[in-house]
């Protein structure tokens, strides 16, 4: 069952793509080996055709992050967005640790249950690290890989060692603060005017989910995603690296590092774009993805 607040909160949205995607969120219980209980998992599916695309959102985010990109991709392809375990509107069970291992296990059973065929896997920011980890573990599920200003080339943050009461509470309350979230949003864009009230609502709507704070703390304590540099040569899938030339979150060095370390990769820079090309330049991002992975008949 969908969280009850989504429908009412969605009424405060003003951008047509935000309203449409919020109205199309679905939920299905996914059985996994992680727990005796199935996990109520939220997702959006649009479009038809072969070679589906699967979109993975970034840290402390949700499928609403793809409100502008997903409909463009769905004009030509079956396109999915799934809320990762511990994030978005997906159910947060109390017995899980929300580590990267659990996240990719849950994602695999989502893929197996909902999709069941190799996908064009698209990961944005932390979702890129998730996509790399997933591809390394379940290569049979991935046809091609797309990284959007991706994480995955830095060591785990040391903050996890400090996530004990009351510091863990203060850290999450700091992240919950609307002014803090607005400043993070502004930093993610090259064009600051895109950090609108609608964007703030989309970025914070999932904070109303039960156990948001507890799961964010658990994920941070797990160490989160680290540095995949030594493993990237194992990935034999064609990979498209899309990177905003004005990324102030991860900078530009990581883009060229990914291109060097991923054997079958291509790097495309996006001008006048920050950390979120799928939000700032959705038309260009969609065109590059569809050109990189044309439909097979």
pLDDT score of 173 more than 90: no
CB atoms within 10 A of CB 36: 9
Segment 80-102, tens digit of pLDDT = 999 999 999 999 999 999 999 99
3-state secondary structure of 263: coil
pLDDT score of 232 more than 80: yes
The rounded percent of the chain whose pLDDT value lies above 90 is: 85
pLDDT score of 297 more than 70: no
* pLDDT score of 171: 79
* pLDDT score of 149: 98
* Cα 241 to Cα 45, 122, 220, 279, 287, distances in angstroms: 24, 10, 26, 16, 13
pLDDT score of 164 more than 60: no
**Partner residues linked to 241 by β-bridges:** 147, 267
Segment 112-133, tens digit of pLDDT = 999 999 999 999 999 999 999 9
Higher pLDDT, residue 297 or 26: 26
* pLDDT score of 4: 72
Residue 254 to residue 273: CA distance in whole angstroms: 16
pLDDT band at 158, cuts 50/70/90? low
pLDDT band at 48, cuts 50/70/90? very high
User: Would you state the structure tokens that stand for residue 244, as one six-digit string?
Assistant: 């905003």
Place of tokens 């609307």: 178
pLDDT score of 9 more than 90: no
* pLDDT score of 174: 85
Segment 239-268, tens digit of pLDDT = 999 999 999 999 999 999 999 999 999 999
Supply the pTM of this predicted model: 0.95
CB atoms within 10 A of CB 254: 20
pLDDT band at 172, cuts 50/70/90? confident
* pLDDT score of 248: 95
> Alpha helix locations (H) across 144-243?
167-176, 178-188, 197-204, 212-221
> What value does the mean pLDDT take over residues 47-57?
94
The rounded percent of the chain whose pLDDT value lies above 70 is: 93
3-state secondary structure of 157: coil
pLDDT band at 296, cuts 50/70/90? low
* pLDDT score of 214: 93
pLDDT band at 157, cuts 50/70/90? low
pLDDT score of 139 more than 60: yes
CATH superfamily of 5-292: Alpha/Beta hydrolase fold, catalytic domain (3.40.50.1820)
* pLDDT score of 6: 77
Checking phi first, is residue 98 left (phi over 0); if not, alpha (psi -120 to 50) or beta? left
User: Would you state the structure tokens that stand for residue 200, as one six-digit string?
Assistant: 């703030």
Residue spans per domain, the chain: 5-292
């Amino acid at each position: 069952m969908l969280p009850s607040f989504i429908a009412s909160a969605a009424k405060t949205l003003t951008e047509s793509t935000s309203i449409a995607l919020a109205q199309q969120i679905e939920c299905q219980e996914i059985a996994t080996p992680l727990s005796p209980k199935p996990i109520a998992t939220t997702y959006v599916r649009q479009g038809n055709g072969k070679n589906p695309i699967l979109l993975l959102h970034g840290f402390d985010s949700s499928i609403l992050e793809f409100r502008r990109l997903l409909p463009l991709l769905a004009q030509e392809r079956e396109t999915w967005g799934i809320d990762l375990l511990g994030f978005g509107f997906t159910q947060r069970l109390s017995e899980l640790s929300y580590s990267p291992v659990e996240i990719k296990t849950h994602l695999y059973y989502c893929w197996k249950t909902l999709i069941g065929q190799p996908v064009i896997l698209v990961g944005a920011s932390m979702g890129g690290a998730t996509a790399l980890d997933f591809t390394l573990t379940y290569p049979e599920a991935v046809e091609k890989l797309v990284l959007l200003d991706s994480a995955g080339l830095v060591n785990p943050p040391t903050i996890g060692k400090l996530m004990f009461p009351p510091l863990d509470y203060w850290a999450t309350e700091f992240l919950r603060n609307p002014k803090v979230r607005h400043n993070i949003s502004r930093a993610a864009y090259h064009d600051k005017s895109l950090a609108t009230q609608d964007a703030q609502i989309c970025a914070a709507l999932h904070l109303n989910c039960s156990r948001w704070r507890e799961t964010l703390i658990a994920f941070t304590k797990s160490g989160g995603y680290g540095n995949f540099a030594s493993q990237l040569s194992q990935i034999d899938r064609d990979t498209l690296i899309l990177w905003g030339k004005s990324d102030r979150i991860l900078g530009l060095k990581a883009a060229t590092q990914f291109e060097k370390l991923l054997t079958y990769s291509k790097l495309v820079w996006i001008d006048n774009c920050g950390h979120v090309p799928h939000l700032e330049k959705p038309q260009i991002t969609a065109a590059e993805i569809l050109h990189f992975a044309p439909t097979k008949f």
